């Protein structure tokens, strides 16, 4: 698979990343079965064998079990750790933790960041996280405190590089001004059915600051491929309009599938978007790599954009 440099770092990533948020088959650790655990391990191994070299995780995915599962595969696969980029995220505190009655909230405090990283390192079974992202914007975030935590983690050799996820451009700027190290990745939702990053300044900022954008849910939970995931609670927000017809037309032209074309649409952007593929089905994991072989024309790209909007451009 083609590779790309992440931001201004020396890290090289496959053009597609593999997302681990669904590898356990559930959000509830109590529902994990030996079968679902083994299926998740097989999905990760398939991605690695297909050329994915960036594995995206988070401390909240199935209560940390997704990190534990990835760590198990790393231990069982000789040479894998040295060949891949391990990314994980922190900053979301689930409801009712550490005590009942507390709401879900976001926490960029130095104490929480440092504690979260220790937990992730233990579950992953590694000494250093290659890329740490702050998961959701904490409205009480103190840039100086984030800088303090990041500097300590880097100095202690526990995290190599840093980035953000789902942050508004102004918060990215505020945090970057305080942090001595450059942010190399900003992960946000981007797809034909979620185009906000094109208009809210996110991708413009990535181009200016040399930050690599990562696209989570690049197929809108499967709606741009063959169906939506049952785990995607917000899938009803997506409105496919006529874009599926355009995707099918281009898929026939390129002799591929609509999902591959939807990924190729993201890859065409000059900011160097890295789509995060989250399927746990081996055939779809392998099939997605075909997107890296297709370069849509400008006319094809805009045909899809307009079809997804459901109305002409202004």
**What SS3 class is residue 215?**
strand
52 belongs to the catalytic site = no
Q: Residue 238: CA atoms inside 13 Å, Cβ hemisphere, count?
A: 27
Interatomic CA distance for residues 170 and 295, integer angstroms: 32
Interatomic CA distance for residues 275 and 295, integer angstroms: 15
Cα-Cα-Cα-Cα dihedral sign, residues 151, 152, 153, 154: positive
Tell me the C-alpha to C-alpha distance, in Å, between residue 219 and each of 118, 170, 215, 246, 258: 32, 27, 9, 15, 10
Q: Can you tell me which residue has the tokens 């401390």?
A: 59
Interatomic CA distance for residues 59 and 304, integer angstroms: 35
230 exposure class (CB count in 10 Å sphere: 0-12, 13-18, 19+): exposed
H or E stretch including 262? helix 258-267
| End-to-end Cα spacing for the chain | 37
Q: Residue 194: CA atoms inside 13 Å, Cβ hemisphere, count?
A: 21
> Which residues lie closer than 8 Å to 45 by C-beta, 6 or more apart?
73, 77
Q: Which of 61, 106, 139, 238 is catalytic?
A: 61
Give the active site residues: 61
């Amino acid at each position: 698979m083609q590779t790309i440099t992440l931001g201004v770092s020396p890290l090289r990533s496959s053009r597609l990343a593999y997302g681990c948020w669904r590898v356990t088959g559930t959000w509830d650790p109590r529902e994990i079965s030996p079968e679902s655990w083994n299926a998740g391990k097989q999905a990760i191994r398939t991605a690695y064998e297909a050329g994915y070299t960036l594995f995206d995780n988070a401390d909240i995915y199935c209560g940390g079990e997704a990190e534990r599962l990835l760590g198990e595969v790393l231990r069982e696969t000789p040479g894998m750790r040295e060949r891949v980029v391990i990314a994980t995220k922190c900053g979301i505190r689930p409801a009712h933790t550490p005590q009942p009655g507390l709401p879900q909230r976001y926490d960029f405090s130095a104490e929480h960041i440092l504690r979260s990283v220790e937990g992730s390192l233990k579950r992953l079974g590694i000494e250093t996280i290659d890329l740490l992202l702050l998961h959701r914007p904490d409205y009480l975030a103190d840039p100086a405190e984030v800088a303090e935590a990041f500097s300590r983690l880097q100095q202690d050799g526990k995290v190599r590089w840093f980035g953000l996820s789902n942050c508004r451009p102004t918060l990215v700027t505020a945090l970057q001004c305080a942090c001595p190290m450059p942010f190399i990745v900003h992960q946000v939702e981007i797809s034909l059915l979620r185009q906000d990053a094109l208009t809210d300044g996110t991708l413009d900022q990535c181009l200016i600051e040399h930050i690599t954008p990562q696209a989570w849910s690049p197929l809108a939970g499967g709606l741009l491929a063959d169906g939506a995931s049952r785990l995607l609670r917000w899938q009803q927000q997506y409105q496919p309009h006529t874009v599926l017809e355009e995707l099918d037309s281009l898929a026939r032209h390129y002799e591929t599938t609509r999902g591959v074309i939807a990924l190729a649409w993201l890859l065409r952007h000059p900011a160097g978007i890295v789509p995060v593929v989250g399927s746990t089905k081996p055939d779809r994991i392998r099939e997605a790599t075909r997107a890296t072989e297709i370069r849509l024309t400008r006319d094809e790209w805009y045909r899809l954009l307009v079809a997804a909007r459901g109305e002409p451009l202004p």
